[in-house]
Structure 1
Amino acid sequence: MNLHEFQSKQLLQQYAIPVPHGQLATSVANAVGAANNIPGSAWVVKAQIHAGGRGKAGGVKLVKSIAEVEAAASALLGKTLVTYQNAPDGQIVQQLLVEETLDIRRELYLSMLVDRSLERIVVIASAAGGMDIEEIAQHHPEQILQEVCDPFNGLVDYQARNLAFGLGLANEQIAPFAKLLKGLYQLFCDNDLSLLEINPLVITASGALVALDCKISVDDNALYRHKALAEQRDWSQDDAKEAVAHAAGLNYIALNGNIGCMVNGAGLAMATMDLIKLHGGAPANFLDVGGGATAQTVTKAFKIILADANVKAILVNIFGGIMRCDIIAEGIIAAVREVGIQIPVVVRLEGTNVELGRQMLRDSGLSIISAAGLTDAAQQAVAATKV
């Protein structure tokens, strides 16, 4: 689960991490009021969406008068902001963060993430902070520093000092940097984060370290332990189909292909998508209906898949272990009749009562293509999209 920048900064403040003085605005009048409440003669108006690259896309505006605040807020609120991370559809801007400006002398990059291969939290830093950090990582990897944290000892002092020296910080900044870094590590662990990124971490004219921007992602599997964070989820920033699937208890992720997938089991779903790609197709989604799928669950899943206008065929791949194939077939038939599906539906069943399930599909009188195996199912689904 992603947090907005303003939510991330509220969390940073709980751990004594310095952030610019700012205020949330949901209307033009709010933005003007926020600027009037923040000392200074210049402000930054920042679109709040769950995507990086806002600055390059025009979602971050430096303004030097109240009139410019009003104009910037009017230009952003209610508009769709498209960045390199959320293209091509973009996301609607419903909230703005109005912040003070700072006298910035240096920009650094700092992040923490879980390295799955190492099974450790890794701290990444670079003296080349700012909007072009991705290019730095690609073309100048030697400028990227990292420290791997031991799960028992955590982030220790010498690792913080190593990064401070590598970033070329002044002597008087090393201790504050180490304190900030250890605070971030504590925040990361306490809240079961999967990503914490500060880009940039700035050094002001007074030598202070301030988190100018922040991105936080919380591990979905740990949200039951963090009710307050879970309540901050902004469903308007997620794919609408994903929000509906979540409410229905389904695991759904939208993709860019044209073959809708309905599978029981995450591993089988991944294998199904791989085979679709292998045979020249493109999956439109990941959808795991779970081992105990019912007719009602299957009907909801069909409706979610069909909400994607790009879907030209549906591949249903069910292994009847917990749930018998005849029960699954009954659910598929009921769902196809209720939803009124007009595109090809390819079904591959395997497991308990598989022959009975296949016979039920054949006798249904519906245009359901029964596949003999997984490879056959993938090939028929791909072929159906090219008719």
Structure 2
Amino acid sequence: MNIHEYQAKEILHKFNVPVPKGFVTISAEGVKTQVSQLKSDMFVVKAQIHAGGRGKAGGVKLAKSAEEAQQFVKDMIGMTLVTHQTGPSGQQVRKVYVEEGSSIKKEYYLSLVIDPKLSRPIFIFSSEGGMDIEEVAKNSPAKIVKFDIDSATSFDSSKLSSSFNLSPEQIEKITNVAKNIYDAFIATDASQIEINPLVETNSGDFIALDAKINFDDNALYRHPEIMELRDYDEEVKEEIEASKYGLSYIKMDGSIGCMVNGAGLAMATMDIIKHYGAEPANFLDVGGGASKETVTEAFKIILSDSNVRGILVNIF
């Protein structure tokens, strides 16, 4: 399950991860008053959607006055934001987050994810954080380092000192942030926490300037408070419907619907479709114990996609 940036920052704040102060709004009304309560002479206005790449797509603006912040909010509410992660149809902006501006000395990247090979969390760190982190990963992979950790050793700061030109004070502050992120990760059953950028300010503090958290769907029954953060407006209606029947469904842009039992076979089936020049319209795993009713609902969900021109059923 995904949540918005402002929700992720609220969670991280509870675990003592430094974040800028801000507020979320669904309209421009009253923004000037709320902005005046922030202790800053500049403000960052951010469109809230469940997708990355907002900055390059015009979804992040720097306002130098309360009036300008309010105008940016007015412009963003209701707009369709198209990024490299939304697809060509984009996503409608329904919420905007306004926060205090920060003096940025240096941008870093820090994330915590599950490594499927190790079956435990690992940290990923780079001294080249920011909007171009994908390009860094592609063109300068040596600048991105993975830290294998376990519950006994947690974050090994010595790996930072051996890989990057950081002072002992910088390492200590980054380590503190990392430990708090780890605590949040474990406590919430997260599958990913990404801070990009983690910025060092001119005063030497480290702040999570942007935050993304994904949660393990299979553990949500333990966290009703996290379930309350779910924004159905940000999700694909077919995927919501599929979850009601225990179906693993992911909508795609092609025209050939897929109904398969088993995730591996489903991916192989999609590869076959692409190999022969077509594009899959979805990933759909009905599971090994699907009933007649479940399969019927699966067909209904696939056929609700107007792009579907045919369905390939591959049941083993």
TM normalised by structure 1 equals 0.77
2:253 is the alignment partner of 1:256 = yes
- With over 3 angstroms needed to count, the CA separation of the structure-2 counterparts of 1:11 and 1:289, relative to structure 1, is same
Aligned residue in 2 for 1:380: none
Matched-pair contact (CA < 8 Å) for 1:203–1:209: yes
RMSD of Structure 2 on Structure 1 (CA): 1.9
Shift in Å at residue 88 of structure 1? 1.2
Higher gyration radius (CA): 1
Contact map agreement 2:255 2:307 (CA 8 A) in 1: yes
Residue of structure 2 equivalent to 1:216? 213
Q: Does 1:228 align with 2:229?
A: no
% of aligned pairs identical?
50
Q: Who is 1:39 aligned against?
A: 39
**Structure 1 gaps, min length 5:** 320-387
Whole-Å separation in 2 of the counterparts to 1:287 and 1:199: 32
Runs of 4+ in 1 over 4 A off after TM superposition: none
Q: Which has the higher helix share?
A: 1
Shift of 1:216: 0.9
Higher relative CO (CA 8 A, sep ≥ 6), structure 1 or 2? 2
SS of residue matched to 2:157: helix
CA apart distance, 1:30: 4.5
Separation in structure 1 between the aligned mates of residue 217 and residue 58 of structure 2, nearest angstrom: 30
Alignment of 1:177 onto 2:139: no
> Unmatched 5+ residue regions in structure 2?
none
Q: Tell whether the 8 Å contact from 2:108 to 2:129 is kept in structure 1 after alignment.
A: yes
Which deviations, in whole Å up to 9, do the C-alpha atoms of 1:68-101 show, x marking residues without a partner?
A: 1121111111111111111212111111110001
Q: Are 1:164 and 1:177, in contact at CA under 8 Å, matched by a contact in 2? A: no
Could you give the per-residue CA deviations for residues 250-289 of structure 1, whole angstroms, max 9, x where no partner exists?
2211122211122344344334333333443322112233
Alignment correspondent of 2:270:
273
Q: Distance in 2 between matches of 1:74 and 1:212?
A: 23
Question: 106-115 vs 299-308, which deviates more?
Answer: 299-308
1:1-387 correspondence runs (5 A): 1-150=1-150, 152-156=151-155, 159-164=156-161, 166-319=163-316
CA distance in 2, matches of 1:32, 1:94: 19
Provide the rounded CA distance (Å) in 1 between the counterparts of 2:185 and 2:255. Answer: 38
Aligned amino acid, residue 44 of structure 2: V
Contact 2:160–2:171 (8 Å) recurs in 1: no
The whole-number CA distance in structure 1 between the counterparts of 2:259 and 2:279 is 14
* TM-aligned CA distance change 1:36 to 1:162, over 3 Å: same
1:201 Cα offset (Å) = 0.7
Number of residue equivalences = 316
